[in-house]
Amino acid sequence: MKKSKIGNMLPVTGLLQEDPLAPVDGTVTGAETPAPQLNLANHFLIAMPSMQDPVFGGTVVYVCEHNENGVLGVVINKPTDMTMQVLFERIDLKLDSEQDSAVDQPVMFGGPVQDDRGFVLHTPGQRYSSSLTVTSDVAFTTSIDVLEAVASGEGPPRMLVSIGYAGWSPGQLESEIGRNGWLTVGADPDILFDVPIEQRYTAAIRLLGIDPLMLASEAGHA
């Protein structure tokens, strides 16, 4: 893996807008009504067992934003070999002694886009310089001040740090879903932050009321 440049994190160009959660203007002329726009923000994308993609096979992706510019998400169950301690050493931050529990937490592979930069999913609260509030339970921050807060013992109580993110151009994810590449379900913050990494895929599938073993069996048939 490339050495992280998380110390130079930047906003995600083209997706994070001034008001990214504002509804799309649906004004039309005449009697026609606009077709509803699919919005999967705050949903999990669950890779179908049949997906053989080396990047996304077996993954669960948390969708942070979905609008006319495309989709931005973070893989939540694919750890790298980098721990939080290594990350903080690379960016010259020293963890507060009370943050020892975070030292051995793995940093996730969030996706193949900007995979030399860091991104943080966390519980909202303190304001950071480049942050998107997805829901009352989840925010997405691309600026280093959130990690500086963690180092000083004032960071969010729940968080997931990733290197890179997952991105889709307009219509691309919808096409993949149409080809049965992904299952979708409303996200559960407990799975995002608390469930052990190796159990997140199964836990996400269970949100659909599906037995993961049955799904795997069905995926093996034409």
Alpha-carbon gap, residue 200 to 106, rounded angstroms: 14
Q: Which of these ranges, 21-30, 74-83, 176-185, 201-210, has the smallest mean pLDDT?
A: 21-30
For range 14-21, the mean pLDDT: 38
In this structure, the chain runs to a length of 222
Task: State the burial class of residue 128 (Cβ atoms within 10 Å of its Cβ: 0-12, 13-18, 19+).
Answer: buried
For residue 62, the 8-state DSSP code is E
Assess whether pLDDT exceeds 60 at residue 221: no
pLDDT of residue 126: 84
pLDDT of residue 98: 61
Work out the mean pLDDT of the chain and round it to a whole number: 82
pLDDT of residue 94: 81
* Helix segments in 49-188, DSSP class H: 84-90, 145-151, 172-178
For residue 116, the 8-state DSSP code is E
pLDDT of residue 183: 95
Q: Are 97 and 152 in contact (CB under 8 A)?
A: no
φ/ψ of 9, rounded to 5, equals: -60, 145
Q: What percent of the chain has pLDDT over 70?
A: 77
pLDDT of residue 78: 97
202: left (phi over 0), alpha (psi -120 to 50) or beta: alpha
Domain boundaries, the chain: 38-219
Is 38-219 a domain of CATH 3.40.1740.10?
Answer: yes
pTM of the model: 0.81
Task: Count Cβ atoms below 10 Å from residue 84 Cβ, excluding itself.
Answer: 20
pLDDT of residue 26: 34
pLDDT of residue 3: 36
Structure tokens at 8: 């130079």
Q: Are 62 and 201 in contact (CB under 8 A)?
A: no
pLDDT of residue 1: 37
Q: Which of these ranges, 101-105, 126-130, 142-146, has the smallest mean pLDDT?
A: 101-105
Angle at 64 between CA 63 and CA 69, to 5 degrees: 95
